[in-house]
Structure 1
Amino acid sequence: MSTSKPLARLGALLAFACLIFASWSVAAPKPAAALDPFTGYLMVHFIGEGATGQQMYLSHSTDGLNWTDLNNGGMVLRSPIGTKGVRDPALVRSPDGSRYWIIATDLCIDCGQTWGDAINNGSRNLVVWESTDLVSWSAPWLLNVAGAIPEGRNAWAPEAIWNAATGDYVLYWATNGALNGVQKHRIYSARTTNFRSITTPQVYINRPGTQEIIDTQIVELPSGVGNHRYVRASGDGQITLEGSNSILGTWTTLGNLSGIGLTGAQVEGPMWTKFNNRNEWALYLDQYAAGRGYLPVLTANPSSPGVFRLPASGTYNLGATRKRHGSILNLTAAETTRVFAKWGPSAPRPRLQSYNFQDRYVRHANLDVRIDANVSPVQDSQFRLVPGLANNSGYVSIESVNFPGYYLRHTGFDFSLAPNDGTASYAADATFRQVAGLADAGWTSFQSYNHPDRYIRHYGFVLRLDPITNAVGRGDATFRLTS
């Protein structure tokens, strides 16, 4: 029998395999790299119900126990997609520190949804943001994780952890799904390299009978601490601890925290953090039943339930806002500097004062943009000038402080405050060059990126994008950046 055809097939298969390997290699994150020493902590969380409370907030700590609200306690990311609310975020850093993701539940209770809706016919998607610097975030996207699960009715409380054994992330979350005739919340998992596509979801944690499980988070332990490389804490009627040496392997039940009076009836939303300067951990638990937000429980060995202890009174402070189910990232000094430059106490929050109506400032109202006097709340007239979305060299975009992710954008030469949809046309419409004020060189005018013959100006106190041809127009198109 001739060998030419089998050899040809073999060559084709080898070539195809090489192409698959090459494409996977391009998509896969880089290998882990040594990061700079950690000097602080960043918590991402939500703060309550309603359309404002169910957004993304940040807090910072220098010791892992005492927290300061960033952005003056205001939200830092707002979801304009899906249910337009987000809860239970996970903050993920790539192994080499070059990329970050926030992954959150697409859920907005008391703003169009009830708990019954969310349980039985909720969003099957997660909301995902991506960043390369921890401060400039992409437009969010929806990641469908529960659509392929039999009778999958929602997708809640996502988490993700890098799996060195497979060179990708294990993404896991809770879904109210059907299995063996039982409809309940279980934890499902899938693998991903980019949080844009996932492998087929698999059942990850399934408690016996009708017992549900919704919240779980895994922590990786250093060599020499306990008998397991990984420990996960789960809300399943108790706060159950389990250990394993493989993320996708067999897990052993270690016990629970009922010995210190904490069960699933009192707390939920387990959130781990390791202290930067010692082998000690805090397991934060959301005191949802009492409405008090997070409580840190301390331990020198996460795999031993008997050594967990409650903190002494006065040794921790969660700040001004109520912290709800979130995630903590240990921060390097460089990351801390970037975060504080944008959201710290001294971060600039300029207002745009009109040149020819100096008692008026640019503000948004019901997503329309105008100039008004006596703006209340003042945050409606505070903006951040960030690198231009369409061109970050010499151009800026104007982002709302209290509607983060929303920018001044012209459409049909009229202005609105609109959420970044990630498109090239949006980016161009929301990008401007700061130039010397057309009416006074000591002030500022904003020239359009995609219509360079036009400038931001007010007309009848409403913002427009117009050619400027006379002295009135030059006055209308001139602003001062003030605090």
Structure 2
Amino acid sequence: MSRVLTRLAAILVAVGLFFTSQSLTAPQQAAAADPGYLMVHFIGEGATNQQMYLSHSTDGLHWSDLNGGGMVLRSTIGTKGVRDPALVRSPDGSKYWIIATDLCISCGQDWNASINNGSRNLVVWESTDLVTWSQPWLLNVAGAIPDGRNAWAPEAIWDPQTNDYVLYWATNVPFNGKTKHRIFYARTSDFHTISAPQIYIDRPGAQEIIDTQIIEMPAGVGDYRYVRASGDGQITLEGSNSILGTWTDLGNLSGIGLTGAMVEGPMWMKFNGQNKWGLYLDQYASSRGYMPVLTTDPSNPASYQTQAAGNYNMGGTKKRHGWILNLTAAEESRVLARWPNTPAQRLQSFNFQDRYVRHANMDVRIDQNVTSDDAKFRMRPGLAGTGTVSFESVNFPGYFLRHANYDFQLVYNDGSAQFAADATFRQVAGLADPTWSSFQSYNHPDHYIRHYAYQLRLDPITTATGRSDATFRLTS
């Protein structure tokens, strides 16, 4: 009788797996009422592509670029480039951190230099609301590693056993006769200070490991509380019941035709309200960015299903090594309001129509025939009041046109009421031509944005020349 029951159970499991595999090839979109997903990523090489970008999805498979596909955070420190970001939310949801590789390939270092004498720092931003971010800071994680030569691909996960974060990353280091990338870890509670780094993952022989990401499993799924996916010549899966405990090799994804020679940068996500996970993989070998594979059991390599191109869409920009956050409804509302797809525009002078407002070394002026991103702004809802506008830089997101002592500079938004007032204006009919625009100061309403000797100023306007100087046109 027991053999009959066992055989019947096996048949039922097989039937269940058949229907599960069918559902994975044609995933259903999450209910419209469910909050969606936020991906932080970079998009390629070059100074502007190795910065922080955001994308949003309602179903975890079809992605839309936020902020018109433009960067949302720019590193102004270290190498002035960032890659491989992780987005960490505190357990109580009161803080968020973005931690990223301090690396700018083809805009400061080549690959050889970055491997053998790269930055030992990570770049970190902090936020309390997911939309207003601190200025970045450098966190030296590899400086204390003897002959540690770089710090790449950081990740972090909350450890409930010790009530802090396990921060882990790859460093190229000679050890035991082999110079290669190994995964190191340290503990931190604030991403300002860390414990002494220790080796976390070291593959045998000369095999390197650079990318690894851990996801926590709910009870009842698989045999492990944690599953990690790593780029180590394959996309290797391992399971453990403790973040710093013993990890069991579960196999790799070569059985579904995905090897480490093709893909890297594994990035997990959990589908809302479903026992289904996505593992996004960066198709670096073919320069195509991320693709998803889906599973109902991350610990079982045989359960993963690749997706037909028509079943997913990555949006307008190439998505590369990043992190996916399942949003709450409040987080989603804030994120979508902060980074709508507002077009980038230039401000053209009325009386010098070959000149446009631009920033240079954070000073603001009008220059001739400038088409670079220095002369492009996104006109946002005013920081200080309804019915007003503020001008955010395209190539320095978070920086706004702000007056101080009636002079204009490009300044990072510190979140203060004074900053908001100084960076807010009322768009009115052009003082020299009503088909153009003028911009009245929010906190000095008798003053307007105008140029004088080609410098941007905030002045009272009393003459015909002043009215012409204070008139502009928004143009692409």
TM range (shorter): 0.7 to 0.9
1:374-413 maps to which residues of 2 (within 5 A)?
376=371, 380-385=375-380, 398-408=391-401
Residues 1:333 and 1:472: Cα distance change in structure 2 (over 3 Å): same
1:289-438 maps to which residues of 2 (within 5 A)?
289-345=285-341, 347=342, 352=347, 362-364=357-359, 369-371=364-366, 376=371, 380-385=375-380, 398-408=391-401, 415-417=408-410, 420=412, 431-432=422-423, 434=425
Say if 1:407 and 1:430, in contact at 8 Å, map to a contact too.
no
1:367-418 CA-partner distances (Å, limit 9, x unpaired): 5533468763688332344776xx9999986421233133335689764546
Residues 1:222 and 1:387: Cα distance change in structure 2 (over 3 Å): farther
Say if 2:51 and 2:83, in contact at 8 Å, map to a contact too.
yes
Is 2:453 aligned against 1:460?
A: yes
Deviation at 1:326, TM superposition (A): 0.8
Is 2:467 aligned against 1:471?
A: no
Give the partner amino acid of 1:98: S
Give the partner amino acid of 1:297: V
Residues 1:439 and 1:280: Cα distance change in structure 2 (over 3 Å): closer
Aligned counterpart in structure 2 of residue 444 of structure 1, from 439, 447, 464:
439
Aligned counterpart in structure 2 of residue 253 of structure 1, from 222, 228, 249:
249
Deviates more, 1:189-198 or 1:393-402: 393-402
CA distance in 2 between partners of 1:193 and 1:135 (Å): 21
Residue 157 of structure 1 is matched in structure 2 by: 153
Residues 1:439 and 1:303: Cα distance change in structure 2 (over 3 Å): closer
Instruction: State the secondary structure of the residue aligned to 2:338.
Output: helix
Residues 1:240 and 1:438: Cα distance change in structure 2 (over 3 Å): closer
Residues 1:443 and 1:92: Cα distance change in structure 2 (over 3 Å): same
Residue 139 of structure 2 is matched in structure 1 by: 143
Instruction: State the secondary structure of the residue aligned to 1:39.
Output: coil
Residue 39 of structure 1 is matched in structure 2 by: 35
Instruction: State the secondary structure of the residue aligned to 1:314.
Output: helix
Deviation at 1:351, TM superposition (A): 5.8
Deviates more, 1:165-174 or 1:373-382: 373-382
Residue 53 of structure 1 is matched in structure 2 by: 49
Give the partner amino acid of 1:338: R
Deviation at 1:460, TM superposition (A): 2.8
Instruction: State the secondary structure of the residue aligned to 1:143.
Output: strand
| TM-score computed with the length of structure 2 as normaliser | 0.81
CA distance in 2 between partners of 1:433 and 1:312 (Å): 47
Residue 209 of structure 1 is matched in structure 2 by: 205
Task: Return 5+ residue gaps in structure 1 as ranges.
Answer: 1-36
Residue 167 of structure 1 is matched in structure 2 by: 163
| RMSD of aligned residue pairs (Cα, Å) | 3.5
Deviation at 1:178, TM superposition (A): 3.1
CA distance in 2 between partners of 1:104 and 1:365 (Å): 27
CA distance in 2 between partners of 1:78 and 1:365 (Å): 16
Residue 272 of structure 2 is matched in structure 1 by: 276
Say if 1:398 and 1:430, in contact at 8 Å, map to a contact too.
no
Instruction: State the secondary structure of the residue aligned to 1:128.
Output: strand
Residue 244 of structure 1 is matched in structure 2 by: 240
Aligned counterpart in structure 1 of residue 88 of structure 2, from 86, 92, 99:
92
1:42-121 maps to which residues of 2 (within 5 A)?
42-121=38-117
Say if 1:271 and 1:328, in contact at 8 Å, map to a contact too.
yes
CA distance in 1 between partners of 2:215 and 2:61 (Å): 18
Instruction: State the secondary structure of the residue aligned to 2:233.
Output: coil
Residues 1:193 and 1:477: Cα distance change in structure 2 (over 3 Å): farther
Say if 1:362 and 1:370, in contact at 8 Å, map to a contact too.
yes
| TM-score computed with the length of structure 1 as normaliser | 0.80
Instruction: State the secondary structure of the residue aligned to 1:306.
Output: helix
Deviation at 1:74, TM superposition (A): 1.4
Deviation at 1:128, TM superposition (A): 0.9
CA distance in 1 between partners of 2:295 and 2:428 (Å): 59
CA distance in 1 between partners of 2:166 and 2:389 (Å): 37
CA distance in 2 between partners of 1:282 and 1:439 (Å): 52
Give the partner amino acid of 1:108: C
Say if 1:139 and 1:405, in contact at 8 Å, map to a contact too.
no
Give the partner amino acid of 2:439: T
CA distance in 2 between partners of 1:168 and 1:75 (Å): 30
Deviation at 1:360, TM superposition (A): 6.2
Deviation at 1:316, TM superposition (A): 1.0
CA distance in 2 between partners of 1:456 and 1:475 (Å): 10
1:246-273 CA-partner distances (Å, limit 9, x unpaired): 1121111111111111121111000000
Q: Give the count of matched residue pairs.
A: 438
Deviation at 1:225, TM superposition (A): 0.2
Instruction: State the secondary structure of the residue aligned to 1:89.
Output: strand
Deviation at 1:462, TM superposition (A): 2.6
How high is the sequence identity, in percent, across the aligned residues?
66
Task: Return 5+ residue gaps in structure 2 as ranges.
Answer: 1-32
Residues 1:132 and 1:384: Cα distance change in structure 2 (over 3 Å): farther
